[in-house]
């Protein structure tokens, strides 16, 4: 990942993330849909949602906010990209949206929200620890944070990294696509950051064992390893089954962390 200024300016610029982040029209759209189903069914267990306040960091194109914001008394979706906020706002003008850098939520009071959501975005923050600290600060005691991100040791990553290594060795100047704005953290490191800021891991849900693995050749052509998106879609139920199998599911593509803010006092 490049330096903080570069990365933040990248996301603030028009025509960057909006071009490549299309979760409802992606090779892995069924995985993204499943993620929302998992979160929605988790939320259903809370009978008092209509009295609760929720904040979403990096709302993107509204994949989570659009289906769930009405369940809450108050919902605020935020993002560093004004363009992404505009796209989401056009889909539902009643959704409350605001610009915010997840690493600095200065306009938000301490201990205000019952829920904080942050999906597929922590990997794009140059200093994720700052965002985790902010999540904890704005959450009420016993509040819940749901954070999802790429698993550093997924089958997808292991295969992609070994393909990239081959190209890196053979072609000078080859840069794997996305590496300038993307950084994955090992589970151990993430756990340390969560604990440091009083966020206790209640559950880790593994998601997406079998997904089409896209990689770039040295002349920037997109190719798929093992199977195509079509086959990946056909294998979606098998993927869900594999996601449930302990040890095997350590290789899943994404991890959803359910965190609770605890107090040590």
Ligand X SMILES: C[S@@+](CC[C@H](N)C(=O)[O-])C[C@H]1O[C@@H](n2cnc3c(N)ncnc32)[C@H](O)[C@@H]1O
User: By CB under 6 A, is residue 149 in contact with ligand X?
Assistant: no
Phi–psi pair at 208, nearest 5 degrees: 85, 60
**Residues counted in the chain:** 265
CB atoms within 10 A of CB 188: 8
Cβ pair 208, 254 in contact under 8 A: yes
Q: How far apart are CA 83 and CA 12, in angstroms?
A: 8
Residue 237 CB, shortest distance to ligand X, in Å, is: 23
- Which run of H or E residues covers position 238? helix 236-243
23 binds ligand X (CB under 6 A): yes
80 binds ligand X (CB under 6 A): yes
The least distance separating ligand X from the CB of residue 125, rounded to whole angstroms, comes to 5
Judged by CB under 6 A, the chain residues 39 through 58 that form the site for ligand X are 57-58
Number of residues that bind ligand X (CB under 6 A): 21
d(CA 150, CA 252): 9
Q: How far is CA 260 from the centre of its chain?
A: 18
Q: Is 79 in the site for ligand X (CB under 6 A)?
A: yes
Give the separation between CA 61 and CA 5, rounded to whole angstroms: 23
Cα 38 to chain center, whole Å?
14
Q: Is 69 in the site for ligand X (CB under 6 A)?
A: no
Binder to ligand X among 55, 76, 81, 259 (CB under 6 A)?
Answer: 81
Q: Does 119 bind ligand X (CB under 6 A)?
A: yes
Of residues 88 through 107, those in contact with ligand X by CB under 6 A are 101-103
Only one of the segments 116-124, 164-172, 217-225, 227-235 lies at the binding site for ligand X (rule: CB under 6 A); that segment is: 116-124
Q: How far is the CB of 124 from ligand X (least distance, A)?
A: 4
Contact residues toward ligand X (CB under 6 A) are: 8, 11, 17, 21, 23, 57-58, 60, 63, 79-81, 84, 101-103, 119-121, 124-125
């Amino acid at each position: 990942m490049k330096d903080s200024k570069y990365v933040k300016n990248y996301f603030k610029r028009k025509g960057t993330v909006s071009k490549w982040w299309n979760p409802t029209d992606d090779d892995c759209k069924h995985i993204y849909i499943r993620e929302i189903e998992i979160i929605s069914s988790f939320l259903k267990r809370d009978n008092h949602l209509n009295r609760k306040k929720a904040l979403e960091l990096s709302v993107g194109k509204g994949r989570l906010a659009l289906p769930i914001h009405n369940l809450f008394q108050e919902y605020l979706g935020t993002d560093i990209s004004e363009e992404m906020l505009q796209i989401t706002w056009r889909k539902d003008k009643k959704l409350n949206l605001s610009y915010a850098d997840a690493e600095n939520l200065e306009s938000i009071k301490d201990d205000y929200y019952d829920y904080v959501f942050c999906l597929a975005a922590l990997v794009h923050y140059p200093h994720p620890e700052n965002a985790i600290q902010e999540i904890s600060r704005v959450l009420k005691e016993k509040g819940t944070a749901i954070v999802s991100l790429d698993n550093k040791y997924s089958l997808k990553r292991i295969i992609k990294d070994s393909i990239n290594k081959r190209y890196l060795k053979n072609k000078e100047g080859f840069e794997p696509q996305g590496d300038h704005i993307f950084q994955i953290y090992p589970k151990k490191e993430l756990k340390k950051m969560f604990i440091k800021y009083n966020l206790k891991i209640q559950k880790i849900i593994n998601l997406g064992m079998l997904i089409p693995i896209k990689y770039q050749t040295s002349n920037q052509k997109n190719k798929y390893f093992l199977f195509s998106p079509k086959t990946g879609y056909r294998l979606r139920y098998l993927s869900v089954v594999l996601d449930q199998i302990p040890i095997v599911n350590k290789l899943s593509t994404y991890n959803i962390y359910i965190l609770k803010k605890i107090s040590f006092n």
